[in-house]
A and B are shown apart, each in its own frame.
Chain A
Amino acid sequence: MEADLQAHVAFFLTGKTNTSDLDAIDRLKLRPALFAGYRDLTQLRYDFPLVLVKDQPAGASVESLSGLIDGILEKIARGSDADRLRKHVLRLEQHIRAQAANGTEGLLSALWDKAAKALAKEDKQISDSLSRARANLKVDGEVVDCNGSMPYHLVGHVWALAQTQRSKRFGEIVNRLVLKLSEILQADFANSNAGRTAANLKRTFGSGPMDQFDFDAMSRILSKSAPKENLTKNRKKRIEKLLTTLKSQQFFPTPASSNKPYVFSFDSCNDAIKAYRDRLPKAIELSKAVAIAELEVRGEYSEAKHDRLFESFGENGLDPRDMAIFPDYLVRLHADTLPGAELSSLTEIMSLNLPIKVLVQTDDVIEESPISNGHLAFALRSRQLARMALGMAGVFVVQSPASALYQLRESIVRGLDCSGPALFSVFSGIAGGHGQLPPYLIGAAALESRVFPAFTMDPTAGDDWASRFSLKVNPQAELDWPVHKLVLEDADCQTQTVERPFTLIDFVACDSRYAKFFGAVPKAHWNDTLADAGDIIARDKWDGIDRIESVPTLLMINPENQLQKVIVTEKIVREARRCLSMWNSLQELGGIHNSHAERLLAREKSAWEESSKAISAASTVAAAPTEVLAPVAPAAEAAPAEKEAEKSSDEAYIETARCASCNECININDKMFAYDGNKQAFIKDINAGTYAQLVEAAENCQVAIIHPGKPRNANEAGLEDLIKRAEVFM
């Protein structure tokens, strides 16, 4: 056992072995044990293939095939033949999935019909089930499996739908403005002398009994009643210019537009920036035309005020919300084209908040280090892009392997429709040394192993990280690594269940390029010193190891699903620790095990415990009968009731705020009583009338808010009686 351990430790530390006991994992065709259930994905129901739904503006833009089939089954699989229907329709789903996995492309309806035709040959019942299901298939669209071109198609599809919506909204604005502006010109012409000539009146009359009308007479009558004022020259010129600008715009195809629309989809950031810069003056001109046209249509354009304002319109660029009416630019590129000028263009897009959406597809996240064999830098280059974008305010960021794009579809829709830049960093899983493993499985493994975690950063969702940043698509995001159950059968044919984390080590073990960093231990040499790698690399454990008494191993399986133990070299363990550290920092951004929050919580907890102790001690004292304890300080003293400005009963006044504007007092004396700006009465001039009028107004007031006070003129007649009458209003 000691000799085994020495040999294993030597391999662990150096990747070399002096014994022939360890076997190469690529020769044995091993794969991680947790992949045991995923040999043939076409037999499984999962998110893929996807259907890129067309012609459903109000519905979802992307659906999973399984989701659509579930929806259909929910409608039709009822009653006595429910099981039969379910069985047949699920077989159809499997056929379509297999077609997509084999690279067949096309509309769902076409793939469906092809699969249904093949199945229907078996018996009539299948044909019946499938035709009933087909009648309930309400959507159609391109079927795409999780492969190298899927992110390109998916993002392009969602982007195109967002542009169609924008185009529709913009078209409504432009068409309405063109119509209203044209109507202003038409009305002006109809009111002009030229518009009221007999010839023109005849032209506008349409068809009918023309000879019954004397258009000359009509022209004479109408010309006399023509309005004196026509459109000013300036206004007419302005409106004509607006119409020209609106009709010649090239940003959207509209019936009013006479020019060919621009293209907004590019393969390079540089080209997209160039197009954006070239078109910016036109965008500003159009935006200005829309704004002025709105004012013209509302009749609010004032040359004195607005001319100067619009002279400098757009000099400092446009507000992103104003830019949101224009189409966004889309760039789709591969990460290997990025280094150099493209990367600097991408940085410019993000730092300048340009309305350009960029999809960067990475095909290999554990590429070999460009420096030398001694350096591994897994996933760093591909992940730094999205991390860099996180640091730039206002950029919508989505990072995800292709396998999780369906789960993130709502974020993708939001990102493609937001008003600023967006970066979609996607790992496709098609390159590298993964052999025959399907891209979906590689993508899912990258997500599970935290090699390529998924996250979204939505700057429009709120002001803080908690609202903007989300890690929710990652499995078991609160843990360092997701833990899964593995069901084994031992040598005695007894079932055992063990739990194993899925780590970077599992992910790298799938890649033949790194097979040399793994060594399979023949079963005869298995012993207790072969520890679980996941356990060793766990948080806080690695640094505490001062003497190697066990080596980290990974559970793998051969093509016959037999379990193998594989020693992992130290370099890979170190990479796993680095990957964990990067994941932990993402977790902190996502509010999971946030060190600041945890410290604050510990501090508050300690303060709370201290204060509890103090309160508990105080209550003990209070329990003593001889002492009188001061009451616990109330949370807040009751605010003193607001004192109304007391009016002297000698002074005449009106409770103006309660006046119902009924005109009673004003009708008695409009010098003495008047209305304020809100048309509520007050005493304007007490000397403008008699005490008798004050008392009479008080008596007539519908809401009894006039208080006559004491008389000011002691010589007024009948004072005694008036004072008595006024008493009730004091």
Chain B
Amino acid sequence: MKLSATKQLLDLYKEQSALEDYQSGVPRWCTGCGDNAILTAVQRLCRDEGLRPEKTVFVSGIGCSSRFPHYMKTYGFHGIHGRAFPVAEGVKMSRPDLTVFVNTGDGDCCSIGAAHWIHALRYNMNMTVFLHDNQIYGLTKKQASPTSPIGTKSNTTPRGSYLDALNPLTVSLGVSNVSFIAQAVDWIPETLYEIVKAAYHHKGFSFVRIIQRCPEWLPKSLDPWLQDPERVQLLHHANGLQISQGLSRVYKNQVEHDPLDIHRAREIASNTDIIPVGILYQNREVACYEDTRHSGALRTVEAIKKNFNAELDKYSV
């Protein structure tokens, strides 16, 4: 027995929830939107891992993706644009017992929230982050985002965007203290779920970029990858993902990649012709900020009062 008898007893009557227990409301996302696939994968994760709704928090910023907390019957915080990370960090710092997820979009994370994103990677707090990357501002009806491919025609770039897209993977892999970087695509639900699961189990800042289709504003932009499985490269390793036989029949472009090899991870992440899918980097040894800073002191009424008074005393004359 891995756990002691008492620990087994404590979990004996743990309540199990069904998928429906995590569902809240009818998503307002467009029909065909990739966000639905992410929502399903995450709800499956909650069910399979037995996450208690009252101990689970979804934090988001602004955008299509950031409506995510509304559709989860857990705690949620629909924050302000680009600031999902600071809110999530505050939640984690104050309540390390909660399971914290962050849903953010390519505009929310990579544009207005870019500074927070970089430092959240560096702080490596234990949370699971999903970057819903549909390469466009969808909620505000089609403006180019940092990850829009060059030449994307939009309301803000009617002649096509001028800059190469920002690559969230290479950016993340360049930040110190990074501990988990993975990429998934919404149209392969099996690997999406497996990656979401691996990210959840990683202790640290698990960053998953999920490339998703936007059927409304960029309906054809991902077709070349959707229609040609050879252009999707599955990463597998004994310490990473294992690919099922069924998936192998469709996706034959596979490569073994050790998630501890950050140099190779950066090389793979730089490839824009082929979409790599899997765990690019995982280092379990990186310390979490909340553990580093945790004083171990209990937050008793007296301690809170003392700290509060000390703060106020700074302004007393």
Contacts and interface: CB of A to CB of B under 8 A. Distances in A.
A704 B229 CA distance: 13
B140 interface: no
A318 B4 CA distance: 9
A658 B33 contact: no
Contact of A657 (B33, B36, B39, B189): B189
A87 to B, nearest CB: 43
A660 B34 CA distance: 7
Interface residues of B, number: 38
B297 to A, nearest CB: 10
A291 B33 CA distance: 46
B298 A658 contact: no
Contacts of B4: 319, 321-322
A287 interface: yes
A696 interface: no
A663 B296 CA distance: 48
A466 interface: no
Given A319-B5, A321-B4, A662 B245 contact: no
Interface centre among A295, A661, A679, by most chain B C-beta atoms within 10 angstroms, is A661
Contacts of A39: none
A306 B37 CA distance: 39
A175 B303 CA distance: 14
Interface in B245-282: 245-246, 249-250
Nearest to A304: B13
A667 interface: yes
Nearest to B3: A321
B31 A661 contact: no
A702 B9 contact: no
Contacts of B171: none
Given A305-B13, A322-B4, A661-B189, A175 B298 contact: yes
A554 interface: no
B187 interface: yes
A703 B10 contact: no
A662 B189 contact: no
A658 B13 contact: no
Contacts of A300: 10, 13-15
B40 interface: yes
A664 B33 CA distance: 9
B149 interface: no
A287 B4 CA distance: 12
B40 A679 contact: yes
A704 B213 CA distance: 14
Interface residues of A, number: 38
Contacts of A373: none
Query: Could you tell me the dominant secondary structure of chain B's interface residues?
Result: helix
A662 B31 contact: yes
A694 B84 CA distance: 41
Interface in A657-705: 657-664, 667, 677-680, 700, 702-704
A58 interface: no
A659 B40 CA distance: 10
Given A179-B300, A663-B36, A291 B6 contact: yes
Contacts, number: 91
A23 interface: no
A703 B187 contact: yes
B6 A657 contact: no
Given A287-B6, A322-B6, A663 B298 contact: no
Interface string A308-328: 010001000011011000000
A644 B247 CA distance: 11
B19 to A, nearest CB: 6
Contact of B31 (A313, A321, A664, A703): A664
Interface in B214-230: 215, 226
Interface in A112-127: none
B32 interface: yes
A309 B12 contact: yes
A702 B32 contact: yes
A176 interface: yes
Contacts of B246: 644, 657
B197 interface: no
Given A176-B298, A644-B249, A658-B189, A291 B10 contact: yes
Nearest to B227: A704
A662 B6 contact: no
A306 B12 CA distance: 9
Contacts of B89: none
B290 interface: no
Contacts of A680: 40, 189
B314 to A, nearest CB: 19
Given A179-B300, A660-B34, A679 B43 contact: yes
Given A175-B298, A300-B14, A322-B6, A662 B33 contact: yes
Nearest to A287: B6
A294 B36 contact: no
B10 A295 contact: yes
Interface in B1-34: 4-7, 9-10, 12-15, 19, 31-34
Interface centre among A322, A642, A678, by most chain B C-beta atoms within 10 angstroms, is A678
A702 B32 CA distance: 6
A642 B37 CA distance: 28
Nearest to A306: B13
Nearest to A317: B5
Nearest to B55: A298
Nearest to A665: B31
Nearest to B249: A644
Given A291-B9, A657-B189, A679-B19, A662 B43 contact: no
Contacts of A679: 19, 40, 43-44
B19 A658 contact: no
A659 B34 CA distance: 11
A167 to B, nearest CB: 14
B150 interface: no
Nearest to B4: A321
Contacts of A306: 13
A702 B212 CA distance: 11
A691 to B, nearest CB: 21
B6 A661 contact: no
B133 interface: no
Interface string A202-220: 0000000000000000000
Contacts of B296: 172
A321 B188 CA distance: 43
A319 B6 contact: yes
B108 interface: no
A302 interface: yes
A660 B187 contact: yes
Contact of B188 (A175, A313, A658, A663): A658
Given A661-B37, A679-B44, A703-B226, A642 B245 contact: yes
B38 to A, nearest CB: 9
B10 A294 contact: yes
B34 A662 contact: yes
Interface in A168-204: 172, 175-176, 179
B116 to A, nearest CB: 29
A322 B249 CA distance: 49
Given A658-B187, A661-B36, 4 more contacts: A176-B298, A305-B13, A661-B40, A663-B31
Q: Which 9 A-B pairs have the closest CB atoms?
A: A321-B4, A660-B37, A319-B5, A661-B40, A679-B40, A319-B4, A305-B13, A662-B32, A703-B187
Interface of B: 4-7, 9-10, 12-15, 19, 31-34, 36-37, 39-40, 43-44, 54, 186-190, 213, 215, 226, 245-246, 249-250, 296, 298-300
24 contacts: A176-B298, A179-B299, A287-B6, A291-B6, A300-B14, A305-B13, A306-B13, A309-B12, A318-B5, A319-B5, A321-B4, A321-B5, A658-B187, A658-B189, A658-B190, A658-B250, A660-B36, A661-B36, A661-B37, A661-B39, A662-B31, A677-B19, A678-B19, A678-B40
